[in-house]
Structure 1
C-alpha cells in the first residue's frame, strides 16, 4: 500500500506575518510600540482635524475622516516597521560570515545577478569574495580581514578582466566604511545599485556566461557558518 503523501505546508497568514515582523523588530528596538502607537494617534488626530475644518461640520463627516486618518496611520506604521525591520536585520547579520552573500542575493533586484555562494574563499579563516554582475559592470566584494583578502580579490579580478575585457570592475570591502572602497553591510546594496550604467542586458548576459564558464566549482568548499538567511532576514508581510 502506497504511503500517503504529506499535505503541503501552509504558508503563514497575513496577520501571522505581521506578528512575526513586529516581534523580530521589537527585539532590536524596544521603543517600537510607543512609536507605532504615536503614529496611529497622529493619523486619527489629523483625520479628525480635517473633519472639523471642512464645512459643513457634521458628526458623520468627522467620524469618516477619523477612520480615514486611522487607515493612513496604519499604513504609515507598517511602512515604518518595515524600514526598521530592515535596519534590525542588518544589525543582526553585521560581521557574520556569509552576510555579504545574503545581501547580494536578496537586495540587488533584477538588474544584477549575484549568488549567495562565494566565488572565492579561504577555508581556514573564512575570508570570502563574492561577485555581482549588472548594469554597473562587475562588482567584487571582499568579506573579512582586508589584508588577507588581497590574493582572493586579485585572483577574481584577473579572471574577470581576462574573460570580460573592457567591462569595468569595481572592488568593495565590507567593513565599517573607514577605508577606501569600504562600505557597511547596510549600505552594500545601495552602493552597488548606485553605480552608473556601463553595460546593457545583452552584454551583462554574455559576461555572466563567460565568467561562469571559467569559474571553478565550489561545491567541495565549506560554506561559511554563522548566518542562516531564513532566520536572519526580516520577515515581511505579503
Structure 2
C-alpha cells in the first residue's frame, strides 16, 4: 500500500493570530479589553466631532467621519495590544532557560547575527552562554548564575578575542543584579553598542568563530522558547 503524503500543516489565519495575541496579552494585562474599548469609543467621538465642526455639516458626512474615527480607534487599539504583547512576552519568559536565545535570535535585526542555541552550557544547571556578532563587535551573553558562568563566559570570550583580534568583545549577564541586564533590555542594550566593524569584517568574524566552534549537538541544549506557550517559571 502506497504511503499517503502527509497533509501540509495549516498555518493559522490572520484573525486566529490576533485572537491568540489578545488572549496572551490579556493574561498579563487584564484591563486590556477595557482600554481597547475606550480607544474605539474615543476614536468614534473624535470622528463625530470633526464631522460636526468641519463644514459642510450633513448626515452622510457625519457618518463618514464617524467611520473614519472608528478605523482610527481600531488602529490605536491594535497598536496598544502590540506594544503590550511585547512587554507581556518579556515578563513571561524572564528567568526561563532559553529566553536569552529567543531574544537574540528574534529581536536584534539585520545588523546582528545570533542563534537561539547557546554556544556553551552546563547540562546540570542549564546555565548557558550565548554569542552574537554584529556591527558592534562580538557580544557574549551569560544566562544563569554569574558565579557558575565564569568559566564558560571566559572560555567564549577568549575564543572570540583569539580569532577576532582587534574586534571589541562585550560580556553581558542577563538577570536582575546591579550589573546585570534584564531580558527586556537585552536587545536594546546590544543595539546601543557603537559600531566598530563594517559588514565585510562582520562576515569574516562570523566565519572565523564558527570554524573553531565545537559542535554541541549532543548536549541537552534549550533551543529557545515559544513565548505564547510558556508556563510557570523554573527556579534556578
Alignment partner, residue 61 of structure 1: 61
In structure 2, how many angstroms separate the alpha carbons of the residues matched to 1:145 and 1:203?
Answer: 33
Where do residues 174-189 of structure 1 align in structure 2 (5 Å cutoff)? 174-176=174-176, 178-180=177-179, 182-189=180-187
Alignment partner, residue 206 of structure 2: 208
After TM superposition, which residue ranges in structure 1, 4 or more long, deviate above 4 angstroms?
none
In structure 2, how many angstroms separate the alpha carbons of the residues matched to 1:206 and 1:55?
Answer: 63
Higher mean displacement: 120-129 or 136-145: 120-129
SS in 2 for 1:186: coil
Question: Is the Cα contact below 8 Å between 2:93 and 2:227 reproduced in 1?
Answer: no
In structure 2, how many angstroms separate the alpha carbons of the residues matched to 1:122 and 1:143?
Answer: 11
Aligned length: 230
State the 1:230 CA deviation.
6.2
State the 1:179 CA deviation.
2.1
Once the two structures are superposed, residues 147-190 of structure 1 have per-residue CA deviations (whole angstroms, 9 ceiling, x without a partner) of 111111111110000000000111111012x423x211011111
In structure 2, how many angstroms separate the alpha carbons of the residues matched to 1:143 and 1:44?
Answer: 47
State the 1:10 CA deviation.
1.6
TM-score of the two chains, using structure 1 as the length reference: 0.93
Once the two structures are superposed, residues 180-202 of structure 1 have per-residue CA deviations (whole angstroms, 9 ceiling, x without a partner) of 3x211011111111111111111
Question: Is the Cα contact below 8 Å between 1:89 and 1:232 reproduced in 2?
Answer: no
SS in 1 for 2:184: helix
Alignment partner, residue 98 of structure 1: 98
Alignment partner, residue 80 of structure 1: 80
Where do residues 87-236 of structure 1 align in structure 2 (5 Å cutoff)? 87-176=87-176, 178-180=177-179, 182-224=180-222, 228-229=225-226, 231-232=228-229
RMSD, matched Cα = 1.4
In structure 1, how many angstroms separate the alpha carbons of the residues matched to 2:190 and 2:163?
Answer: 22
Once the two structures are superposed, residues 54-84 of structure 1 have per-residue CA deviations (whole angstroms, 9 ceiling, x without a partner) of 1111111111111011101101111110111
TM-score of the two chains, using structure 2 as the length reference: 0.93
In structure 1, how many angstroms separate the alpha carbons of the residues matched to 2:135 and 2:229?
Answer: 28
- Where structure 2 has 5 or more consecutive residues not aligned to the other structure, the ranges are 231-236
